Amino acid sequence: MGILLNVQNLTKTFSGEGKGDYTAVDYVSFQIRQGETVGLVGESGCGKSTLAKLITRLLEPDAGFVRLDGEDITRLQGKALKGAYRKMQMVFQSPMGSFNPRRTIGFGIGESMQNSGVPKAERMQRIAVLLEQCGLLPEFAGRYPHELSGGQCQRAAIARGLAVNPKLLICDEATSALDVTVQQQIVELLISLKQERNLSLLFICHNLALVQSFCDRLLVMHRGNIVEQGVTDQVIQAPKSEYTKRLIEAAF
């Protein structure tokens, strides 16, 4: 398996009003191989979401680089950056908030296809297939976000992320707002999609048990640093970092 995502020395410092500067992401480095699922865990405020936003270029890094499928995307702009988004998509914690409330779910899923010039008939057909792949009936395309449950809306958000057939899906706390049963259903969906599409996943989560259930490798983040990384079961069974030990004790 080749390296799909290569993050090296990624750094982001924010200016805190009256409190001085603080570094949210501090020289972070890791890699994700094609078809691999990597979990990223750590307590709230440790820098996980900031890291995701740096990788997806929603934030500009102060230092370091992000290489996606062999291409340095750290400074890309305009059309070149849109090209990167065809290989990488993000699913957010609040699926309801990520859809336009005035537009149907089908419009939200098909928007990227429309922007790429896919004809309407083909677009509608592909939207129906994506919904079915994500466990929703095709008629959900005509519904609005408020007409869906949290779990249904998250499935639709995953369908939208898959619309451009990306190689990497970044899930930023994508299950945290859902109840335990629905969380497991979403994880099972991600596992099946990974197998069908040889998809790579960066699964950001604070639930260690959930991460252990399906992630190949684990990154542990604390105060902007990756303090430990390795095969998931090995990290959980024999943690080296004191912070990881405390995190595991609290979780299990």
For residue range 178-214, what is the model confidence (pLDDT) as tens digits?
788 888 888 888 899 899 889 999 999 988 988 998 9
Task: Please state the domain count of the chain.
Answer: 1
What is the full DSSP assignment across 55-86?
HTTSS--SEEEEEETTEE-TT--HHHHHHHHT
Question: Per-residue pLDDT averaged across 166-183, rounded?
Answer: 86
Give pLDDT, residue 77. 87
Domain membership flag for residue 108:
yes
pTM: 0.92
For residue range 77-126, what is the model confidence (pLDDT) as tens digits?
888 888 898 899 999 878 777 789 999 999 999 988 888 788 889 999 99
Residue 22 falls in which region: left (phi positive, over 0), alpha (psi -120 to 50) or beta: beta
Q: Distances in Å between the alpha carbon of 226 and those of 8, 67, 90, 133, 219? A: 12, 18, 21, 34, 6
Cα gap 155→85, rounded to integer Å = 20
Res 222 pLDDT > 90: yes
Quickly state the pLDDT bin for 20 (edges 50, 70, 90).
confident
Domain membership flag for residue 88:
no
Proportion of the chain above pLDDT 90, given as a percent: 62
Res 19 pLDDT > 80: no
Residue 33 has what DSSP assignment?
E
Please give the residue range of the domain that contains residue 125.
96-165
Domain membership flag for residue 132:
yes
- CB neighbourhood size of 234 (10 A): 12
Domain membership flag for residue 39:
no
Tokens of 92: 């957010």
> Whose CA is closest to 246, among 208, 202, 215, 204?
208
Cα gap 192→52, rounded to integer Å = 23
Report the DSSP pairing between strands 225-231 and 63-68.
unpaired
Domain membership flag for residue 50:
no
Query: Where is 87: in which H helix or E strand?
Result: none
Domain membership flag for residue 4:
no
For residue range 42-85, what is the model confidence (pLDDT) as tens digits?
998 899 999 999 999 999 999 999 999 999 999 888 888 888 98
Domain membership flag for residue 123:
yes
Domain membership flag for residue 30:
no
Quickly state the pLDDT bin for 18 (edges 50, 70, 90).
low
